[in-house]
Structures are given as structure tokens and as C-alpha cells.
Structure 1
Amino acid sequence: MTSPDSMTVFDRALVRRRRDRAVAEFTDHSFLFEEIADRLADRLEDVIRPFPLALDVGCHDGAMGRILKGRKGIERLVACDLSPDFARAAGGTGNRAVAAAIAADEEFLPFAPGSFDLAVSNLSLHWVNDLPGALVQIRQALKPDGFFCASMLGGQTLAELRRCLYEAEMEVSGGVSPRVSPFAEIKDAGGLLQRAGFALPVVDSDVITVTYSDAFALMRELRGMGETNAVLARRKVPASRALLFDAARRYAELYAEPDGRIPVTFEVLYLAGWSPHESQQQPSKRGSGQIPLGDALKGGGLQ
């Protein structure tokens, strides 16, 4: 499904290959996925109802399923990921939290309408080209009054690295190309949920700061996560040593803390919404108020 105003920003085949490559050593670099999965599960605790059949969209190695095991009345969880290798890892024999795991593209979900009570997605949707279309498909896969909650990286993520690569490339090459993937802004996320047909949408965010010994350690971490640049408009040749060393130097000069370590910003957006159902709270119809606005303002002391 492709929405009329969607754009092809990411090379999805490259995203898949980089995830496949990351599987073997992912547990050495998965701290952010584990941490955010835990925070996402905590948000689910505020919803007082069971979800017998759940879907994990973009499951990576199954962290979300492991954390949700035995919680929220989940009896079966289906996990899917763009990467076949990650899907196999999530559905491995050691992960009994997952009833089934399949390779599936978030932009072309293979599930029948009204299948699931709950859909979750942990740090995957920021790689989707047609995010409105993907959200529509997730909403359609939910039963009426089904719940959706997700985390995705937001616009301030890797702001320091973005700046340093930009300035270094201007200095070394005399021009710039996309070196860090674009991320959604929080001001847009609520509108995306509404456009996708979710009821009672809620969006909030966290900013997590992590420190590394230097910029090269950060770049190795991003590669280990499978989160390196996959923008179609990127330069297809690897960055030169001169560019990388200049960017690392700038990062240290601009941002290093007293102990020499560099801070890295990850902004995480949390999205939540319900598949529409007649039992849900509805806004009052326009003009249905019983007290004239002028009287209400007078009563509040505003003349």
C-alpha cells in the first residue's frame, strides 16, 4: 500500500541486508532496543485489559516478545521483521514467547483485517518509506478496539553526529550528501496516527543520552545495531578516511565531556492509538453544548 503523498527515501533492500548482517553480534549492540522495549512495555501496563493475540512489527531479535511474555494476558505473539535472519532469531527455539515468526515488510503486512488484539513495534518504523500506509495496515490488522503502541527514533537523534559529518564533508569535499538518515518529528506523529484512522491518539517522547569513547566507537555501534545510513540519495562510495577522521575530531572538540567521552542523543517517540470501536469515547457534536460560550467565559471571570 502506498499513500499518494509518500516518498521513497530509504533503500529498503539495503536496510534488510544490514539487519541480516547485524544478527550474528546483535546482542553486543542491542542495549537501546532492550531499554526501549522495557519502556514500551511499561506504557502498556497503563492499559487495563488483556490482549490474547499480539503482533510485533519489526521484531529484530525478539526483545519485545521476551519482555511481554506473561504480561497483559498475551497468549500468542506473532513476530515479523523485514530481515529473514532476524525473524529466525526472534522465533528461535529459545524464545518461547513467540508463537510464530515470519519475514514480512512493514509496508506490505500479510495479515488479514481484524486479526490482532494488540500491535507493538519497537524502533523499526523510522525506516519505513510509506509510514502513513504502514500505520493504516497496522490499524486494519487490529480487531475493533484493538490497541497499537510503538517506539521510533525522532528528529533529534544523532544530532551531534549529523552536524560533525556535515561540517567535515563541507571542509573535505566542498559539498554535502545525506550521511545520517532523517527521522520523524514529534509534531507530525499525532497527525500521522489520525490520518491512519486511529482513535484517541497519544504521542510523547524521551531523550536518551549515551556516551562513547569516541565517534568511531559510535559508528561501530550503529553498524552493530543495523542502523547505519540507508538513504537512497546517499553517496554510494564509502566515506573517506579524511572525512571520518575530521568528523571525529570535530565531535571531540565540540562535545567531549571532561572525561573525554562524547555524548550521543537518541530521541525516542512513543505512539499509541486504538482501532475505532463504537464503545470508545467520542467528541461531542459541534453545537451540542448546553451553556453559551459567553456565559461560560463570564463565569470564569473573563469579561
Structure 2
Amino acid sequence: MLSDTPPPEPFRRHARRLRRDRAATGFAGHDFLRAAMLDGIDERLAAVKRPMRDLLDLGCFDGAFTPPPGARVARLDAGFGFARAAQGIQADEDRIPFADASFDGVISAGVLDQVNDVPGALALVRRVLRPDGLFLGALVGAGSLPVLRSVLMEAEAPRAVARIHPQIDVRSAGDLLMRAGLTLPVADIETLSVRYSSLGRLIEDLRGMAATNLLRDTPPLTRSTLARAAEAFAARADADGRVTERFQVIFLTGWAPDPSQPKPARRGSGKTSLADALRVPGMPQD
């Protein structure tokens, strides 16, 4: 017999709101990751020639995203402090409260890796976009924070627990765009490397950007475990006494369907055979 009870959500929504509120006042001192994401989004948005009248900043943090000239921007954040500072509304990204076809574009930088229902959030993005509307997103992807993951596992061995969020890889990110009904999907990845003098400085940055562990049923770190992790981190330092940590940033691009968009060629409509395509100019043919 099928159960009507939904599966448990991986992230604690209430804890996420509180941590975003705690991070809001000092976020400017730890905003380098989102700033890099917004730079990438700005570059991609600048290449779009169609006008953008209405935009949604989904997960707005401090409202640093600047819309193109003449465009209006609505802002949404799960944290009350960020939403208030950016003159936006407070809501979760997988519970977007806007009406269908409200926006020409939606941008989202630095939050989708903390959303309980990422497919649902992208489906809602598709719903609030007008035909031929653009989605530009960026999130922390698979392969991020390898040093932190390693030292925590080492410090808690042989009974290590999951303390790093599950991470979406670039192929899965592209699949999620298609699953949401967005067309012309593109997912690409860029690496951001940051050098730290201590584990404490890394954790300080993660707290400052509201990016610490939100997984359910994770026991708190003990002082002894944290001390062992700090020692393991220091042991990985280079000659300058610093450890390089890595963030893999996945950029997402997708469009709401519209008849004007280019269509893939019909299967079997090509004019060139595979045999012709494989021939090398100047070489004798059989």
C-alpha cells in the first residue's frame, strides 16, 4: 500500500532561515563566492540581446545583483534579514509565490545547493518565466570543499558522518534543466581556489556566507574532533603555511519554451553521411 507521507527533506528549513539571518549583517566580509557567481551571470546576461523588463533575483542575499538598465527586479530570500535588507520578500526557493509568466528572466546565485526540492524549484522557475524567458543560475557543485571533507573524515574516523551537503555534478545539473522543461539547456563549470591559513578561517567564511551544514540528524562537532580536524588541515599547508581549498561553481542557462526558438534537426534529415564525414581530405578513398 502506498503511503501519503512525503519523504523527509534533507535540509532543515528553519535552521537555514536562522543561519541566513545570522549571516546577513556581516555578509559583505564573506561574499567572494557569490560575487564570483554574479560576475559569471552578468557576463552571460550581457550577451543576451532581447530586452529584460522584469527580473527575479531568487535567493538574493544582500541584493548585490544589479539588473540591466531599464529593468525592474523582484528579490526573494529564505532569510528575513536578507529579504528585508534587499527590500524583497521572504520565501523558500522551492515555494516561489509569484504568478505564472511574471518575469522575463530569473537569476539565482549561491542557493540551489541548499534547496530541499531542486527539481521543484526549477519547475517553478519555468512557471514564472514568460515564453522565451531566461534562467541564469550558479551553485556550488560536485568536487567542492575536498580538503574540508577529507579532514573531517580523518578527524572522525572510523565513525565519520556526513557533514558536507550532497553536491550536484555538471551533467546532473543539465539534466535538471531539461526535467524542469527549460529548453536550450547549458551547464558549465568553473573552479575557484581560495588559500586559507587555518581551518578556523575556512569555517568562518562558510558561516559568514550561510553555507554551513544543514543536514538533518547530524550530531554537532565536538571540541576534540574539531581540534583533530584543525591539525589535519594544518598538516596540508604549503611552504607559505596556507591550504588551498576549492569551490566548483556550476553555471546554468535555460530558456522557457517558445515557438521562435531553434529546433533540433529532425532525425534522418541530414544531408551528409557518416562515411563522408569521416573521410580525410587528400587521402585516397576505397
What is the TM-score of this pair, normalised by structure 2? Answer: 0.92
* Percent pairwise identity: 41
Q: Which amino acid aligns with 1:258?
A: A
**2:92 is equivalent to residue 105 of structure 1:** yes
Q: What are the superposed Cα offsets for residues 99-132 of structure 1, whole Å, 9 maximum, x if unpaired?
A: xx11111111111111100100010111012111
Q: Residue 261 of structure 1: which of 242, 256, 262 is its match? A: 242
User: Following TM superposition, by how much is the alpha carbon of 1:289 offset from its aligned partner in structure 2, in angstroms?
Assistant: 2.9
User: Following TM superposition, by how much is the alpha carbon of 1:206 offset from its aligned partner in structure 2, in angstroms?
Assistant: 0.8
State the alpha-carbon separation in 2 of the partners of residues 295 and 33 from structure 1.
48
Counterpart for residue 271 of structure 1: 252
* Conserved? CA contact 1:177–1:233, under 8 Å: no
**Structure 2 gap ranges (5+):** 1-5
State the alpha-carbon separation in 1 of the partners of residues 123 and 155 from structure 2.
40
User: Following TM superposition, by how much is the alpha carbon of 1:185 offset from its aligned partner in structure 2, in angstroms?
Assistant: 0.8
User: Following TM superposition, by how much is the alpha carbon of 1:23 offset from its aligned partner in structure 2, in angstroms?
Assistant: 1.0
Question: Number of aligned pairs?
Answer: 279
User: Following TM superposition, by how much is the alpha carbon of 1:287 offset from its aligned partner in structure 2, in angstroms?
Assistant: 2.4
Q: Which amino acid aligns with 1:138?
A: V
**Secondary structure of the corresponding residue to residue 206 of structure 1:** strand
**Structure 1 gap ranges (5+):** 92-100
State the alpha-carbon separation in 2 of the partners of residues 129 and 51 from structure 1.
29
Counterpart for residue 19 of structure 1: 20
**2:181 is equivalent to residue 197 of structure 1:** yes
* Conserved? CA contact 1:33–1:63, under 8 Å: no
Q: Structure 1 residues 26, 278: closer, same or farther in 2, change over 3 A?
A: same
Q: Residue 215 of structure 2: which of 231, 251, 262 is its match? A: 231
Q: What are the superposed Cα offsets for residues 20-63 of structure 1, whole Å, 9 maximum, x if unpaired?
A: 11112111221222232122111211212220100000001111
**2:192 is equivalent to residue 208 of structure 1:** yes
**Secondary structure of the corresponding residue to residue 50 of structure 1:** coil
Q: Which amino acid aligns with 2:35?
A: E
Q: Residue 223 of structure 2: which of 214, 220, 241 is its match? A: 241
Q: Which amino acid aligns with 2:33?
A: L
User: Following TM superposition, by how much is the alpha carbon of 1:7 offset from its aligned partner in structure 2, in angstroms?
Assistant: 6.7
Q: Residue 186 of structure 1: which of 159, 170, 175 is its match? A: 170
Q: Which moved more, 1:133-142 or 1:291-300?
A: 291-300
User: Following TM superposition, by how much is the alpha carbon of 1:77 offset from its aligned partner in structure 2, in angstroms?
Assistant: 0.3
User: Following TM superposition, by how much is the alpha carbon of 1:14 offset from its aligned partner in structure 2, in angstroms?
Assistant: 1.1
Q: Which amino acid aligns with 1:205?
A: I
Q: Which runs of 4+ in 1 moved over 2 A?
A: 5-8, 287-303
What is the TM-score of this pair, normalised by structure 1? Answer: 0.87
Listed as ranges, the matches of 1:12-91 within 5 Å are 12-64=13-65, 67-68=66-67, 71=68, 73-91=69-87
Q: Structure 1 residues 214, 47: closer, same or farther in 2, change over 3 A?
A: same
* Conserved? CA contact 1:6–1:130, under 8 Å: no
Counterpart for residue 96 of structure 1: none
Q: Which amino acid aligns with 1:253?
A: A
